[in-house]
């Protein structure tokens, strides 16, 4: 996770109705929103899903950086959030630096939880599930070199799991073979049978952790960055006043049946208004 430093002297000057803005390519960031709400239930929230750009994992780095920077620039200009959380590993590992050139608000990003995974593993073999774009990033290489140099990190890009998580939240059934294929892709790599810890390096994946747990079988632990992200958001907004003067908002960059089918899930996550940006 990467953040801008907090300036505590500005806490008293923040508009109490200014929202937190959480951004993801789809609904995966709801896994982060749930943890943020647990710590800051009083915080007004705007959740943004760039579903018109989904999936990010198949795009080039240049495409992702330009899209995320442009969208967040327009969003912050319109909604004046007190903090932006990029609740997307792919967007964070690629676009965080360029976004900081655009925005003048605190930013919290998310990156693969390799450091805690290295402390958790007993066998020394860690699996990492992410998007194709995330697993190839030099940022991930650096995290591995810094925190897991004496471990074995096996990576797999699993775009099917993003689709599965989105489908699950729409109430659709998902073929269990989707999860079995992701497990097999990790297990089939050298030392893959010794994996005992799996990093969920996409915010969509905690939404299907139960299904992945069943597919991996016993003896495997899972880790993602959502708890640490929520704690960081709480720290950066410590001492600020909050006032929610209207129901929280979910913004999508494209409408359609897929968005309509998410209605119950959005309400369950406290997002009672829906709009297209």
The answer to whether 128 and 200 have CB atoms below 8 angstroms apart is: no
List C-alpha distances in Å: 112 to 54, 64, 122, 155: 20, 18, 19, 11
CA separation for the pair 91, 106 (Å, rounded): 16
State which H helix or E strand residue 77 sits in.
helix 61-79
CA separation for the pair 187, 127 (Å, rounded): 9
* Number of helices (H), then strands (E), in the chain: 12, 10
202 is catalytic: yes
Choice among 36, 140, 202, 249 that is catalytic: 202
85 is catalytic: no
SS percent in the chain: helix, strand, coil, step 5: 45, 15, 35
The answer to whether 102 and 12 have CB atoms below 8 angstroms apart is: no
CA separation for the pair 272, 270 (Å, rounded): 6
Beta strand ranges found along 33-186 (DSSP E): 45-49, 83-86, 107-109, 125-130, 152-157
By annotation, the residues acting in catalysis are 88, 202
């Amino acid at each position: 996770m990467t953040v801008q430093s907090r300036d505590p002297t500005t806490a008293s000057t923040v508009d109490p109705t200014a929202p937190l803005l959480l951004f993801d390519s789809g609904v995966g960031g709801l896994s982060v929103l749930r943890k943020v709400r647990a710590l800051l239930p009083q915080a007004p929230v705007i959740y943004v899903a760039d579903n018109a750009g989904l999936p990010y994992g198949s795009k080039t780095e240049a495409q992702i950086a330009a899209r995320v920077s442009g969208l967040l620039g327009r969003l912050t200009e319109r909604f004046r959030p007190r903090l932006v959380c990029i609740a997307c590993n792919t967007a964070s590992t690629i676009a965080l630096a360029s976004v900081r050139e655009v925005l003048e608000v605190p930013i919290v990003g998310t990156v693969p939880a390799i450091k805690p995974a290295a402390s958790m593993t007993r066998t020394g073999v860690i699996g990492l599930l992410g998007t194709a774009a995330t697993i190839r990033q030099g940022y991930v290489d650096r995290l591995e070199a810094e925190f897991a140099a004496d471990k074995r990190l096996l990576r797999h890009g699993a775009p099917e799991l993003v689709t599965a998580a989105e489908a699950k939240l729409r109430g659709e059934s998902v073929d269990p073979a989707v999860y079995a294929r992701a497990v097999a892709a990790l297990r089939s790599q050298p030392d893959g049978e010794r994996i005992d810890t799996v990093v969920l390096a996409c915010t969509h994946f905690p939404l299907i952790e139960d299904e992945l747990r069943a597919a991996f079988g016993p003896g495997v632990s899972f880790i993602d960055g959502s708890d640490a992200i929520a704690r960081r958001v709480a720290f950066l907004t410590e001492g600020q006043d909050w006032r929610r003067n209207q129901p929280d908002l979910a913004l999508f960059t494209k409408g359609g049946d897929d968005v309509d089918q998410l209605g119950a899930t959005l309400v369950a996550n406290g997002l009672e208004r829906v709009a297209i940006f």
